[in-house]
């Protein structure tokens, strides 16, 4: 209790010293004359010291404090009486602060905390007796402020620390009151103030008060005491011609104290104070046009060098980079000083770039460039992974700019210390890695989730930020490209946040690489060659717990067939994802497609001879299998390329070519294949390629002089095709195209006009936006063409009869196609003729154009709807999917427009065949009719009720057909019909459920049973909550049927459909039994 009383008396004594002192300061600030203010301040300080001495002599309650103060004063050489009023006042404040500190230490030493009470849950811990109250803490804080103002800052040399004139009005007044005297006495007083403040900081509570407010002043004093300039002459040191006043031992003690203080304080705060202490630039070097800003005064050269050394040491410490970045950026609103200023700090990119330049430049104090980057680069990589949302954007900008700057200025060190460690998790699991993956047991995690996530995010941040990457950056990333692509393919199989960054990295790399390098990399990703390192065969990606992925050792597959199946399916999936990736790149898909076609062209002429040599070598080889494998590698690569070409055609054909040069390149490659292969290239492929050229010349695009220069590359190839191809039609078209190109379109024979119309399709007369919405995609190379490559005689004569009559003979009209200039009936006749064209793209385009006319309710087309129905039905029998899908679309649109006329015919076609046919239609043709009926059902909606019985009848009859595929198709169509009918099913539902139950329990084909269970899913999904009313008598039977399938069915897909149906039924019953509570009130207004 005695120590607590003494602590209270000490804070009261400080308050007594400060109360009238602060009042006097306020009074002096309002005086008119500076001399009057200074005199009033000195008088106030003197009176306060006298009042304190009087209080000590008269009040017996202060005897304990007086004895403690006297004891401390005996050891304090700096507290001797002097004539300087300001220092006498400062000494009294320092003595009382030491009394406060000693009392707090004694109270804490004698305190024993009581044991926690187990009966009281979460009881607050009792405060330590050395804890200051709010008022006491405010008093101590004011005392520390006066010590810094009166006893420390006035004795600093010019340029050291923040001048008193730049602080408060009271500080400006103190500057004129305090007289430093000689340098020797000033240094002794500065030494006393700094040592006392350092002693006070040894206590945790008092130390936080000192270091949070006065760290900069304390560092400035210690730097001046420890490293101030001196010239030795004997045993004396003379700065600026006068005695220093400090011994070498005291200066060494100050150096140790400075180092200890820098090490124990929060490092960003140390960095910020050292930057302020370093001062502004030299005079004249910072006038950058911002006259309204306050700049720091330039510091002395010795202090600038000292601060640079100390900052370099802070930077080289563990965590020093983050400390430096925080110290510089926290003043702009980041970190602890966030809030509203944080948004402004994000926009201050100049400061972030300045910090990046500092980090990328090796300081003079560093031993070597290698040593500096070895310490700093790992910390720069850590900045990329900071998760604190308040500072992450700034820190990542600094880190990315630093990485790119080092990569440009010091590429060898950047690759060794930055890019290598950043890519190491991905390089660890590639083929040829230093880690012996073969010796690791199955299931071993090679790359953890946090490592892989950090690696991908770091690459993404660096790559996206660099708009003009260096060759070194692209070269460093190329070895890891295979692993990134494998990870991208893995993320497409599940939900992962790594999918988007992997896709952006791949697209960025392919875009920034040169065309040839990008094509070579794509070859490597497609397993066609190249220098891309792929994932190690013993490694695989697995889903991680946080939504990312890990790389682990996979289990060995002993079954060779299973291993081969997994390898083939994995390569197929990667090819599909590569094609999908190319569809998102502008122009690269077309370049790679042409690159693959050229690869096929090189081997077209020698394919047969190679196959013969392979068979002979296999027969004569003693060890057959190795010889065949080596000889079949070129053929395997050719098949791989052919598969890739087909996938590109099917997936991205509509966006494959983006400019005229790519189209010309494609045609040139096709013509070269025709010339090299000697007739192997089919007439359909050649006609398609030359049709593209005719479309370009016919006004599909606006050609420029550079385009005609590119088209002239085709002239010698067309001439060779004209001489060597066996088909007369192809020869004639090649000759006509050659003439049209040579004359720049001035002379265009009729065959070129017809080829252009055949390629682009027909348009409706008199309509600006009529015609097919999208050009048909090109057909893959592997498809079998029609046997006849020439038009029938009646077709050719009809074309000649309705041919165009241009104003200038032999010249193709510019702008719209020739078909647009014909009357409506003639244009429709042209479409009908094209619907029987052996050329598949032309036929499909004509069918789609007729469908568009029906959709737009064209009067001319609706008049001949019987003829159109016949055209569409005949198109259903075609084997090419492009044709029969277009015919299905047309039948569905015609049925939607005229259901009474079309549906009976379709039902008859689906049931057996067309009226009067001797044989029933094949199952495949009936399934196409069923698809047309299904689309018609969806289009009619509720109006399909009028045809409910007939549709259900033919579908149930089809469910008993001997062909399993037709049975499954009929059940699928029945499910779609039930989903559309919903509550309009009525009593027919009993027949449907009985048929489904019979098929599920008796049909021997798994696909048919799957379709039957799927009908139940669609039925429940279409009925929704009304299922309990519509299926009132059949619901129990359906439930038992589904349970039977779930428990006894051996087909996993059928079981899955049954589980889905049970989930639908469970959801319906839950909504029925437990309807959602609606928080609403009904207010009824009575009359």
**What pLDDT score does 253 carry?**
92
Q: How many residues does the chain have?
A: 1087
CB neighbour class for 740 (10 Å; exposed up to 12, middle 13-18, buried from 19): buried
Average pLDDT over residues 407-433: 87
Q: Does residue 372 contact residue 335 with C-beta atoms inside 8 Å? A: no
**What pLDDT score does 830 carry?**
78
CB neighbour class for 7 (10 Å; exposed up to 12, middle 13-18, buried from 19): buried
**What pLDDT score does 944 carry?**
76
With a cut of 50, say whether residue 680 has pLDDT above it: no
What percent of the chain is modeled with pLDDT above 90?
8
With a cut of 50, say whether residue 815 has pLDDT above it: no
Q: Tens digits of per-residue pLDDT, 174-189?
A: 777 777 667 778 888 8
| Residue 198's pLDDT band (cuts 50, 70, 90) | very high
Q: Does residue 400 contact residue 462 with C-beta atoms inside 8 Å? A: yes
**What pLDDT score does 162 carry?**
84
Q: Tens digits of per-residue pLDDT, 498-548?
A: 999 999 999 999 888 888 888 888 888 888 876 788 888 888 899 988 888
Average pLDDT over residues 136-160: 89
**What pLDDT score does 936 carry?**
82
**What pLDDT score does 339 carry?**
45
Record the tokens describing residue 636, joined without a space.
Answer: 């395997």
- Classify the phi-psi angles of 1020: left when phi > 0, otherwise alpha if psi is within -120 to 50, otherwise beta: alpha
Q: Does residue 1000 contact residue 1044 with C-beta atoms inside 8 Å? A: yes
Task: Count CA atoms within 13 Å of residue 202 on its CB side.
Answer: 14
- What are φ and ψ of residue 118, in 5° steps? -70, -20
> Is pTM, for the whole model, over 0.75?
no
Alpha carbon 20 to chain centroid distance? 64
Q: Does residue 243 contact residue 183 with C-beta atoms inside 8 Å? A: yes
The mean-pLDDT minimum among 112-116, 326-330, 912-916 falls in 912-916
The mean-pLDDT minimum among 644-648, 1006-1010, 1062-1066 falls in 644-648
- Classify the phi-psi angles of 1032: left when phi > 0, otherwise alpha if psi is within -120 to 50, otherwise beta: alpha
Of the candidates 490, 506, 481, the one whose C-alpha atom is nearest the C-alpha of residue 547 is 490
Q: Does residue 673 contact residue 607 with C-beta atoms inside 8 Å? A: no
Record the tokens describing residue 459, joined without a space.
Answer: 């690459």
Q: Does residue 192 contact residue 78 with C-beta atoms inside 8 Å? A: yes
Task: Count CA atoms within 13 Å of residue 456 on its CB side.
Answer: 27
Q: Tens digits of per-residue pLDDT, 570-594?
A: 888 888 888 888 888 767 877 887 7
| Residue 803's pLDDT band (cuts 50, 70, 90) | very low
Q: Which residue has the higher pLDDT, 1051 or 618?
A: 1051
Average pLDDT over residues 72-93: 86
Q: Tens digits of per-residue pLDDT, 597-652?
A: 777 666 544 544 444 444 434 444 444 444 444 444 667 777 778 788 777 777 66
| Residue 195's pLDDT band (cuts 50, 70, 90) | very high
- Out of 761-765, 981-985, 1050-1054, the most confident range is 1050-1054
Record the tokens describing residue 740, joined without a space.
Answer: 């049209």
Q: Which residue has the higher pLDDT, 915 or 722?
A: 722
The overall average pLDDT reported for the chain is: 76
Rounded Cα gap, residues 927 and 971, in angstroms: 11
**What pLDDT score does 879 carry?**
79
- Classify the phi-psi angles of 245: left when phi > 0, otherwise alpha if psi is within -120 to 50, otherwise beta: left
Place of tokens 């074309």: 799
CB neighbour class for 252 (10 Å; exposed up to 12, middle 13-18, buried from 19): exposed
**What pLDDT score does 676 carry?**
66
Three-state DSSP state, 18: helix
**What pLDDT score does 24 carry?**
43
Rounded Cα gap, residues 300 and 282, in angstroms: 10
Q: How close are the terminal C-alpha atoms of the chain, in Å?
A: 81
Q: Tens digits of per-residue pLDDT, 704-715?
A: 777 778 788 788
With a cut of 50, say whether residue 800 has pLDDT above it: no
With a cut of 60, say whether residue 422 has pLDDT above it: yes
Average pLDDT over residues 1028-1042: 77
**What pLDDT score does 240 carry?**
42
**What pLDDT score does 758 carry?**
65
With a cut of 70, say whether residue 770 has pLDDT above it: no
Q: Does residue 897 contact residue 854 with C-beta atoms inside 8 Å? A: yes
| Residue 822's pLDDT band (cuts 50, 70, 90) | very low
**What pLDDT score does 501 carry?**
92
Place of tokens 């055949």: 758
Q: Does residue 145 contact residue 97 with C-beta atoms inside 8 Å? A: no
Record the tokens describing residue 103, joined without a space.
Answer: 């009392």
With a cut of 90, say whether residue 442 has pLDDT above it: no
Average pLDDT over residues 658-673: 76
What percent of the chain is modeled with pLDDT above 70?
78
With a cut of 60, say whether residue 17 has pLDDT above it: yes
Average pLDDT over residues 1028-1038: 75
Of the candidates 1057, 1075, 954, 1063, the one whose C-alpha atom is nearest the C-alpha of residue 1012 is 1057
Angle, CA of 536, 538 and 543, to the nearest 5°: 90
With a cut of 90, say whether residue 256 has pLDDT above it: yes
With a cut of 70, say whether residue 854 has pLDDT above it: yes
Angle, CA of 1079, 1084 and 1087, to the nearest 5°: 175
Q: Tens digits of per-residue pLDDT, 861-909?
A: 888 888 888 888 888 878 787 788 888 888 888 888 888 888 888 788 7
Alpha carbon 207 to chain centroid distance? 46
Rounded Cα gap, residues 763 and 856, in angstroms: 13
Record the tokens describing residue 76, joined without a space.
Answer: 């304090």
């Amino acid at each position: 209790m005695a120590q607590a009383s003494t602590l209270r008396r000490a804070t009261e004594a400080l308050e007594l010293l400060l109360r009238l002192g602060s009042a006097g300061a306020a009074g002096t600030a309002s005086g008119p004359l500076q001399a009057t203010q200074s005199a009033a301040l000195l008088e106030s300080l003197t009176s306060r010291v006298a009042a304190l001495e009087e209080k000590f002599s008269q009040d017996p309650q202060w005897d304990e404090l007086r004895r403690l103060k006297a004891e401390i004063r005996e050891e304090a050489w700096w507290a001797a009486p002097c004539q300087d009023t300001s220092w006498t006042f400062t000494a009294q404040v320092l003595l009382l602060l030491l009394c406060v500190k000693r009392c707090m230490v004694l109270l804490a030493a004698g305190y024993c905390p009581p044991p926690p009470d187990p009966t009281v849950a979460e009881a607050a811990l009792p405060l330590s007796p050395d804890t200051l109250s709010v008022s006491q803490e405010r008093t101590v804080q004011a005392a520390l402020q006066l010590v810094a103002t009166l006893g420390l800052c006035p004795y600093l040399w010019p340029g050291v620390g923040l001048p008193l004139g730049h602080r408060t009005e009271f500080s400006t007044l103190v500057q004129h009151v305090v007289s430093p005297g000689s340098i020797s006495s000033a240094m002794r007083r500065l030494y006393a103030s700094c040592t006392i403040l350092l002693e006070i900081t040894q206590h945790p509570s008092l130390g936080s008060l000192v270091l949070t407010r006065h760290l900069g002043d304390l560092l400035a004093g210690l730097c001046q005491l420890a490293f101030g300039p001196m010239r030795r002459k004997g045993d004396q040191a003379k700065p600026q011609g006068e005695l220093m006043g400090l011994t070498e031992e005291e200066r060494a003690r100050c150096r140790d104290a400075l180092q200890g203080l820098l090490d124990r304080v929060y490092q960003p705060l140390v960095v910020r104070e050292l930057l302020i202490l370093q001062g502004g630039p030299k005079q004249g070097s910072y006038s950058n046009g911002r006259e309204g800003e306050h700049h720091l005064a330039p510091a002395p050269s010795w202090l600038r060098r000292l601060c640079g050394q100390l900052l370099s040491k802070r930077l080289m410490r563990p965590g020093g980079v983050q400390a430096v970045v925080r110290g510089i950026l926290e003043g702009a609103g980041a970190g602890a000083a966030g809030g509203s200023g944080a948004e402004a700090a994000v926009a201050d990119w100049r400061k972030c770039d300045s910090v990046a330049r500092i980090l990328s430049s090796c300081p003079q104090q560093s031993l070597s460039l290698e040593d500096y980057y070895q310490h700093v680069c790992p910390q720069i990589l850590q900045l990329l992974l900071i998760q604190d949302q308040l500072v992450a954007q700034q820190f990542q900008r600094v880190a990315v700019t630093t990485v790119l700057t080092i990569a440009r200025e010091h590429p060898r060190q950047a690759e060794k210390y930055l890019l290598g460690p950043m890519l190491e998790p991905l390089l660890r699991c590639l083929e040829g890695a230093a880690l012996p993956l073969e010796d690791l047991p199955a299931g071993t995690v090679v790359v953890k989730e946090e490592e892989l996530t950090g690696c991908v995010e770091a690459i993404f941040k660096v790559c996206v930020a660099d708009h003009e990457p260096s060759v070194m950056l692209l070269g460093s990333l190329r070895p890891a490209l295979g692993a990134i692509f494998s990870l991208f393919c893995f993320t497409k199989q599940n939900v992962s946040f790594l999918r988007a960054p992997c896709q952006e990295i791949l697209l960025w790399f392919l875009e920034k690489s040169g065309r040839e390098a990008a094509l070579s990399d794509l070859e490597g990703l497609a397993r066609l060659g190249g220098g891309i390192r792929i994932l190690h065969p013993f490694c695989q990606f697995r889903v991680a717990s946080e939504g990312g992925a890990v790389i682990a050792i996979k289990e060995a597959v002993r079954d060779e067939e299973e291993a081969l199946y997994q390898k083939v399916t994995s390569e197929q999936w990667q090819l599909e994802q590569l094609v999908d990736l190319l569809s998102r790149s502008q122009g690269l898909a077309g370049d790679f497609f042409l690159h693959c076609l050229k690869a096929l062209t090189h081997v077209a002429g020698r394919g047969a001879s190679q196959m013969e040599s392979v068979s002979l070598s296999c027969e004569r080889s003693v060890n057959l299998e190795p010889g065949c494998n080596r000889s079949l590698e070129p053929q395997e690569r050719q098949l791989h390329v052919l598969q890739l070409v087909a996938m590109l055609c099917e997936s991205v054909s509509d966006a494959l070519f983006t400019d005229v040069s790519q189209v010309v390149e494609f045609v040139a490659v096709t013509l070269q294949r025709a010339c090299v292969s000697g007739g192997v290239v089919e007439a359909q492929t050649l006609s398609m390629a030359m049709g593209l050229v005719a479309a370009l010349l016919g006004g599909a695009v606006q050609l420029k002089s550079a385009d005609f220069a590119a088209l002239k590359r085709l002239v010698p190839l067309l001439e060779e095709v004209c001489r060597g191809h066996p088909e007369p039609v192809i020869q004639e078209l090649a000759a006509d195209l050659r003439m049209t190109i040579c004359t720049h379109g001035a002379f265009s024979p009729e065959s070129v006009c017809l080829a252009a119309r055949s390629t682009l399709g027909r348009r409706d007369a008199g309509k600006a936006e009529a015609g097919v919405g999208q050009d048909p995609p090109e057909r893959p190379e592997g498809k079998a063409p029609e046997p006849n490559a020439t038009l029938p005689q009646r077709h050719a004569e009809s074309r000649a009869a309705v041919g165009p009559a241009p104003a200038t003979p032999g010249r193709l009209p510019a702008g719209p196609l020739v078909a647009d200039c014909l009357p409506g009936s003639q244009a429709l006749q042209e479409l009908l003729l094209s619907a029987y064209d052996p050329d598949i793209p032309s036929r499909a385009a004509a069918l789609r154009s007729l469908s568009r006319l029906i959709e737009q309710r064209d009067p001319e087309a609706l008049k001949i709807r019987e003829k159109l129905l016949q055209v569409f039905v005949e198109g259903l029998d075609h084997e090419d999917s492009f044709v029969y899908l277009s015919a299905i679309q047309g039948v569905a649109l015609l049925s939607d427009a005229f259901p009474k006329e079309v549906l009976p015919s379709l039902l008859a076609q689906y049931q057996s065949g067309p009226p009067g046919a001797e044989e029933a239609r094949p199952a495949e043709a009936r399934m196409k009719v069923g698809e047309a009926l299904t689309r018609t059902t969806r289009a009619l909606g509720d109006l399909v009720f009028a045809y409910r019985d007939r549709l259900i009848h033919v579908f149930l009859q089809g469910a008993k057909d001997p062909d399993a595929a037709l049975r499954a198709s009929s059940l699928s169509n029945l499910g779609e019909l039930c989903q559309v009918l919903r509550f309009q099913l009525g009593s027919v539902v009993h027949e449907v459920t009985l048929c489904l139950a019979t098929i599920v329990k008796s049909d021997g084909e798994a696909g048919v049973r799957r379709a039957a269970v799927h009908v139940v899913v669609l039925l429940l999904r279409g009925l929704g909550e009304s299922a309990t009313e519509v299926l009132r008598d059949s619901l129990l039977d359906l439930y038992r049927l589904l349970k039977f399938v779930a428990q006894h069915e051996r087909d996993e897909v059928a079981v899955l459909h049954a589980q889905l149906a049970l989930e639908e039924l469970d959801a319906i019953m839950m909504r029925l039994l437990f309807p959602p509570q609606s928080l609403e009130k009904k207010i009824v207004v009575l009359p």
